[in-house]
Copies of this chain bind each other. A is one copy, B any other.
Amino acid sequence: MAKTKPTKTRRPRAETPRGFRDYFGAEVTERARMLERITEVYARYGFDPLESSAVETVEALGKFLPDVDRPNEGVFAWQDEDEGWLALRYDLTAPLARVYAQHRNELPTPYRRYAVGPVWRNEKPGPGRFRQFYQCDADTVGAASMAADAEICAMLAEALEAAGIARGDYVIRINDRKVLNGVMERAGVLDPADPERDAARRGIVLRAIDKLDRLGREGVRALLGAGRKDESGDFTPGAGLDDAAAEIVMGFLDARREDGAATCARLRELVAGSAVGEEGVAELEQIAELLAAQGLGPDRVVIDPSVVRGLGYYTGPVYEAELTFEILDEKGRKRQFGSVAGGGRYDDLVKRFTGQSVPACGVSVGVDRLLAALRAVGRAGDEAPGPVVVTVMDRARLADYQRMTAELRAAGIRAEMFLGGGAMGKQLKYADRRAAPVAVIEGEDERARGVVQLKDLALGARLAAQIETNEEWKAQPAQIEVPRAELVAEVRRMLARAERG
């Protein structure tokens, strides 16, 4: 028998767990700047920041995931010696409910708060789907008035514009769960006197309309009726509505008219006789009136019954912000950018803690999607400029180079001294990698003559792209010599030119 090999100490793999990632440089600053612009609007609307603990008891967290597409997704949880099961928050809404229940005696009512931070989902990672990502939420707790919903929608519009989305490039669409309930009554699957009856069929209806984007009208229509066979041959049983009932539901999805008033009139027809349905239409009318009072017209906010995302989760109005400009998808086809934020009214979140129902509504911005949109339209902000790099020709004179660097920094100029080892070629390569606009060079000769060389790397890069002949190249002032005393002033001039260039 062969001897067992001696155990080799295994090195740990230098990798994030799958589904997690790191963010570098501009990825961090662009997101921070976007969130700053958004939260500046939230603050102006009277919303206060809240940063709740990232860790909650599993008990407090409960199960309130709004995303009906992924009902099985879980949380990252572990058992604590003293505290029982703990978990990372999976959104910012469940913690808000806990915070409000815990601190309700000290908080103002209504309580307007915004929150920004990472959340964690224990689900299978996929391309572009991460297990840690940012959310940016604003919610009003303790206000039953539709004015709270209208305010959230107006604020969302202003926040999108502050972030860099031009007016006309987005639209906020509003629907109402109560109108759908009215439609369900009219379709015969919701009896106000016995709301438990037909719950299963209503579930099928809800799931069916929630798939409108994916399956189209025909697919939804099939699921409302007998059922639907998909491409693979699998059969999904339908809600079993008769044609008349199914047409009422389909009529709801198609109810959008040329303006809000006409849409509401059409919805009133569809829910006629249903108390909850008429209440829902009245809510939409009130929101439309309040938005108009704030100067938000249909170019920014529309009543649109085809908004179905979240209808299963929210209890009243539902809102969704869509970007309407086109981008190219991975196959090079044009398509609308789509949804970047969504929200609505959810009146029962705090109840599980206190036993009392507390009205609440809010919106969540998809931080990564909005940032991707801003990048797509070139509005994510300028790339952070690289630092001026002070090179080190003579290691014995580090203090002199350090002094130059300090002078530049004191003048507010981003600057570094090269801290590694290596010859000038390596140092200039480093400067390139840092996207340095200028490199400062001072050798023995320059030192003796009281001058420094300034290499305009930004200009050099532009010239390299333009210039065809060697003669042209030499004629360009990509490197100049200036008196040592004029270092700061001259670098400043070069940076100003680089910015204009």
Interfacial residues, chain A to chain B (CB-CB below 8 A): 11-18, 20-25, 27-29, 43-46, 48-57, 59-60, 62, 76-78, 80, 82-83, 86, 88, 98-99, 101-103, 108-110, 112, 118, 120, 122, 131-132, 140, 142-145, 147-148, 150-151, 154, 289-290, 292-295, 352-355, 384, 387, 398-400, 402-403, 405-406, 409, 412-417, 419-421, 430, 433-434
Contacts and interface: CB of A to CB of B under 8 A. Distances in A.
A144 B418 CA distance: 12
Given A51-B23, A57-B13, A290 B398 contact: yes
Taking the full assembly, how many copies of this chain does it contain? 2
A79 B412 CA distance: 48
A14 B416 contact: no
Contacts of A405: 294
A11 to B, nearest CB: 6
A195 B44 CA distance: 63
Given A23-B50, A140-B419, A398-B147, A353 B14 contact: yes
Contact of A46 (B22, B45, B56, B414): B414
Nearest to A421: B144
A419 B147 contact: yes
Contacts of A25: 48-50
Contact of A62 (B12, B46, B76, B80): B12
B399 A289 contact: yes
30 contacts: A11-B352, A11-B354, A12-B352, A12-B353, A14-B101, A14-B102, A16-B56, A16-B98, A17-B80, A17-B86, A21-B53, A22-B53, A25-B48, A25-B50, A28-B49, A44-B412, A45-B416, A46-B434, A54-B132, A78-B78, A108-B433, A108-B434, A142-B420, A143-B420, A145-B420, A147-B417, A290-B398, A290-B399, A293-B402, A295-B406
A46 B399 contact: no
A403 to B, nearest CB: 5
Nearest to A351: B11
A470 to B, nearest CB: 30
Given A12-B60, A144-B421, A409-B45, A18 B83 contact: yes
